[in-house]
Amino acid sequence: MAHAAVVAMVLTGCSEAAEPDARESGGASAGATADAEPAGVGSGGSIGAVGSACELPVRFDIAESWEPEAIDAAAARAEVDEMADEGSDDPDSMEKELAAELADSLLTQGPVTAACEVDAKPAGHIGFLRVFTGEPGDDDARTVLEDFVLAEESEEVSLDEQRYRTFRSGGLTGVEVSYLRTSEILEETTKQRALAVVTADGPVVLHLGGLDDEEHEAMLPAFDLAKRTLRIS
């Protein structure tokens, strides 16, 4: 338990996703991209390019007042290991092993690893737009997103009403999913949204959750802004 608390202090929470059976739950609608400016949100600048707060394979606009912060997964894992070492005299202790596994579970979801977190709190919302990246491979955006989704389901988490659809933005063709995530422990269901694109430098997943459905709906324009302005870096 102590090491779990250490990991929680070092790492941000992992984003939620949906199950792969959504292939049958919602057909892809080609060209489902928004051309109009999302209502109620202004651009607070762009991230993704070299020199920006988060350097990524893609770049996109973030909503005004949202604050981005890069996530160095390797550094986070090293910090967890160091803090675990300080709390245990046994280099092979089960507690240290569990701490490392928890760190991996928070940093990695399916084929991608956390790379950036954009905090909505300065804009008055409770939630994050999280960005995950992966290694180049042969999987298309649909497969990447389904694998991302599959990695979230467990005995404590169930996922329903997944609807996948394609979109195009800035020369990229991606896949988006909306779904409901139910926590058996908290006994609550919340709306979730995610998208995936594949670049020459690997896949990228953007995920939006939120404290509750009200917060999620309030933050959706920021997600739409990111999707609409998505470009290769």
Amino acid 80: pLDDT: 72
Give the three-state DSSP class for 148. helix
pLDDT of residue 77: 75
Q: Is 86 among the domain residues?
A: no
Domain enclosing residue 212, as ranges = 15-71+111-232
Asked if the structure places residue 3 within a domain, the reply is no
Per-residue confidence (pLDDT) for residue 40, from 0 to 100 = 56
Assigned domain for 2 exists: no
- Give burial (CB, 10 Å; 0-12/13-18/19+) of 129: buried
For the chain, 233 residues long, give each residue's pLDDT as a single digit of tens. Answer: 444 444 444 454 443 333 333 333 333 333 333 334 445 589 999 999 999 999 999 999 999 999 999 999 888 877 776 776 665 555 566 666 666 666 677 799 999 999 999 999 999 999 999 999 999 999 999 999 999 988 999 989 999 999 999 999 999 999 999 999 999 998 999 999 999 999 999 999 999 999 999 999 999 999 999 999 999 99
User: Partners of 207 in the beta sheet?
Assistant: 130, 194
Identity at 144, one-letter amino acid code: V
Residue 6 belongs to some domain of the structure? no
**Residue 132 belongs to a domain:** yes
221 belongs to a structural domain:
yes
**Assigned domain for 134 exists:** yes
E-assigned strand segments in the chain = 43-47, 58-63, 67-70, 108-109, 112-119, 128-133, 157-169, 172-183, 188-199, 202-208, 231-232
Number of domains within the chain: 1
3 state SS of 176: strand
| Cβ neighbours, 10 Å, residue 122 | 11
Which whole-number Å values give the CA distances from 211 to 17, 121, 221, in the listed order? 15, 11, 16
CATH number of the domain bearing residue 196 = 3.40.1000.10
The model's pTM: 0.79
